[in-house]
Amino acid sequence: MTRMILYKEWLKTRWTLAGIAAVVAALTFYCFLNLGKVVEIRGAALLWETLVAKDTVLTEILRYMPAFAGALLALAQFVPEIQHKRLKLTLHLPYPQGRMLLVMVAFSLLSLTVLFALQAGVCALCLTRWIPAELLARILRTMAVWYLSGWAGYLFVSALCLEPTWRMRVLELLVAAGFLRLLFLTPVPEAYNGFFWVLLLYVMASGSLLFLGVARFKEGYQD
């Protein structure tokens, strides 16, 4: 049954996932095409100087992409479920409801993680040619928060989709907006170093909102 649910999620989201993968690939390619040109014209020393002296990690063009990717995937996955109350049918399948929601969420989070890991891997591979491990680690530590925003974007938009009433949806929207603002408070590299694990725990805890929405739906709350 788990395999069937995964297949259903794959059918729903494959084109969205393909589109996200294409945008991720294109942005990454564009970013490194630019950096390659800079190195060709001005030399790799400029990358060192910029990374050391300025508040940049050279890959800022990728900053908001994970959050958009997460939100888009959540819409592709849950909008079909709430249209014409198909969620009711899904919840009536002979499978524990909690586990079903968990499988659906795990499918998307894993898909996003694979995409983000691939992108981070490509970044690391390209940059290793030009900069030492210490500067590369600085870039990846900074990008980790961007990827966290991808997970947060997915979980909050999913929760908004599954919540049956507008009153509660507005409250969740306030929390989502506040949290995403927090993840993009400053562009300074490594600004979130000491706080990352707290944010990660918070994002994981935000998954409980999905279960709250489903429970309220089952209890008959609706506008």
Is the Cβ of residue 22 or residue 215 nearer to another protein in the bound state?
A: 215
**Least Cβ distance, residue 14 to another protein (angstroms):** 28
**Least Cβ distance, residue 74 to another protein (angstroms):** 16
Asked if 212 interacts with another protein (CB under 8 A), we say yes
Angle, CA 143 vertex, CA 49 and CA 20 arms, to 5°? 125
Sole binder of another protein in the list 98, 110, 113, 222 (CB under 8 A): 98
- Residues 62, 28 contacting (CB under 8 angstroms): yes
Sole binder of another protein in the list 64, 68, 95, 211 (CB under 8 A): 211
Take residue 214 and report the two structure tokens written for it.
């489903």
Take residue 101 and report the two structure tokens written for it.
């929601």
- Total residues belonging to the chain: 223
User: Crossing angle of helices 133-162/208-218, nearest 10°?
Assistant: 10
Identify each DSSP E strand in the chain by its residue range: none
Asked if 60 interacts with another protein (CB under 8 A), we say no
Asked if 188 interacts with another protein (CB under 8 A), we say yes
Take residue 209 and report the two structure tokens written for it.
């909102």
Residues of this chain that interact with another protein (CB under 8 A) are 43-45, 48-49, 51-53, 55, 98, 129-132, 134-135, 137-138, 171-172, 174-175, 178-179, 182, 185-186, 188-195, 198, 205-206, 208-213, 215-216
